[in-house]
Amino acid sequence: MSGFVTLTAAGAIDATYRVGALRRGAFARADSYTREVSGKGVNVAAALAAGGADAVAVVVLGADDVRFARCGLTAPLLRIVEVPGATRVNTSIIDAEGITTKVNAPTPPLTTEAWEATVEMLRRELAARGASWLVISGSLPQLAGTADLIDLGIVRALAREVGARVALDTSGAALDAVLADPAGIDLLTPNAEELAAAVGRPLHTLGDVVAAAREIVARGVDTVLASLGADGLVAVTAERAVFARSGAPYVANTAGAGDAALAGFLLGLSRTPAASAAGADPLAVAAASAAEWGAHAVAHASTLVSGPPHGIRTRVETAPDLDRVLTPEGEA
């Protein structure tokens, strides 16, 4: 099994409240409450570990929360870079209908010293594991005192030094910056809305998504794994497009589903030699694994998954119907 290192430059505490009803401006008493160390790279590492992979998560956390982090279920995976103060809190509120309302705290800036410490931690972990993948996930902070985001160029260079491929899952200005210079990015994982923004047009059909993903591939990205929400996902390369969709046993919490799907895709890719030897299609295996892990994740009450998926039915299409109309945003 391949080794994986994830980077979460803006770690978080995930707070999840379950309520009977959520009405704007009204008082609500939570039926339950959970709190866990998170951030997209932590979620990915936890899913990879649940799938049997050797994975660690380099994560920037506020010193106030380090003791809590070291007592949690993910503690063995964490490689913590401490910064002063508290860690930001991302809040999910899930009502009785299973609808998730999510509010993420602002991403705090990183000092030059903290970023240098993060890069050094990455250097050590990549070298120690001989990692085959570096996964950069979540928001990218600004460097304190500047308007610039942290520079991923040095991170990509670190990955190349050890022969690791790079997967990136980010959004907003960070995604725009990467798309302007995607050299060294092997896997990009936008959702349909982010992909539409990247190409500057709406995407109404699966064919629209594939065409948009191929524009990104043409800029130098090897594979685009596009999440389509309730419609499933599609893995796109210059030559191939593979669609996959899994049915979740039930929906408990949609937060973290994309992170689990990314982990599932990487786990599927790590089985490529065995899949090829057995005559299976490696990209189809990876896409199916991504869909299964995503469906598995939404059945979890927490953001983090525990154990691999079992008994989830998955449909895979290696020649998908490109005229298929996507479900409008906000509908299931």
Residues with catalytic annotation?
Answer: 259
How many CB atoms neighbour CB 228 within 10 A? 19
DSSP structure class, residue 303: S
Beta bridge partners of 316: 244
The alpha helices in 184-322, defined as continuous H runs, are 192-199, 206-218, 257-270, 272-277, 282-298
Given a contact cutoff of 8 angstroms between Cβ atoms, the answer to whether 244 and 287 are in contact is: yes
CB 9 within 8 A of CB 87: no
Half-sphere exposure of 105 (CA within 13 A, CB side): 17
Give the integer Cα–Cα distance in Å for 325 and 255: 25
- E strand intervals along 89-184: 89-94, 100-103, 133-137, 165-169
Per the structure block, which two tokens stand in for 68? 């809590």
Query: For the stretch 135-173, what's the b/e string if a residue is b when 16 or more beta carbons lie within 10 angstroms of its beta carbon?
Result: bbbbbbbbbeeeeebbebeebbebbeebebbbbbbbbee
Coil, strand or helix at 190: coil
Are 133 and 143 spatial neighbours (Cβ–Cβ below 8 Å)? no
Distance CA 55, CA 164 (A): 13
* Burial (Cβ within 10 Å: 0-12, 13-18, ≥19) of residue 240: middle
Q: Show the tokens assigned to 251.
A: 């929906």
Task: Tell me phi and psi for residue 205, to 5 degrees.
Answer: -125, 165
Place of tokens 């990314």: 262
